[in-house]
Structure 1
Amino acid sequence: MMNPRSIPWLESIKLMISRPEPVQLAALCFRTPQGQDTPEVLLVTSSNGRWILPKGWPINGLHSWETALQEAWEEAGVHRGKPWQDPLTSFSSIKRHPNGIEQRCSVSVYPVEVEEMRKDYPEADRRQRQWLSLPQAHDRVDEPALRGVLQQFEQELAARA
């Protein structure tokens, strides 16, 4: 019988399989319009047209919440906002790369209270953005895990009120 340790490619495959999921950081952008009691959340379109939260890979030198705020700027035009420094939650998602490869990753979600938006932002020509009530956002997203995040956010806001 051959020793599996003597097959280098088998060790590489075992390492790839046993690695933890890579992490992305998402911004759950919200505001409460003047004269309203209920918040709205901001969704953006992904490269394939699904409605999602702005998110991306960690950025060296930035805290996770700072990265989430940076993604909110690049993908949604959030010029100023107050991010929570602790994540609301995390969920498992599939990242679809342009080359067709799908990768499971863990997404940590940082709520960001939006103070100022800009019409001109880095990905304005590639994404749509829309403010929605929490029930509307829940109906708009396809990912069940993201629906759960929106429900959890609504519960957290109610608990803080």
Structure 2
Amino acid sequence: MNKTRILAAAIAAVSLGALLPCSANADDAPSPCASLKRIVAAAPDGLASLTPDDGKGVAQPYGDDAQCSASRGSYQCTWTPHHDAGSSADALQGVAADIASCLPDATHDQNSPGRQHFYLGTRAKRTDITLTRADSSKLRLVVSGK
């Protein structure tokens, strides 16, 4: 009899949990790595197929106003870093660190306070990843391929 009550209480708790709405957590935000890998995988020939939302995961840890666009040869996003992300130079370094850790095969050939550059692939089929300050308060990420 006691086991039956315990089993019934457990079933009720699980059923109630299934009925309650789920809440979003910070961990539910798009991953910078997933976004970067999706963009780079589309390069060089499929960049135009990306949507504006494909790049927001790269910017989201640093800013909420990412504006992204795709064209035949490039994909770019521009955003304003959060105040808690530090200066735009700090945010630029943070995004560069994300790129380096998410894309370990990328070569990091330029590292300056205003510009970070990475590339993947051979000269004949190279994907360039450039991160710069768009102006004094915005960052710009451009992924292009040839």
TM-score range, shorter chain: under 0.3
TM-score by length of 1: 0.26
Structure number having the greater helix percentage: 2
Indicate the structure whose relative CO is greater, using CA pairs within 8 Å and at least 6 residues apart. 1
Structure number having the greater strand percentage: 1
TM-score by length of 2: 0.28
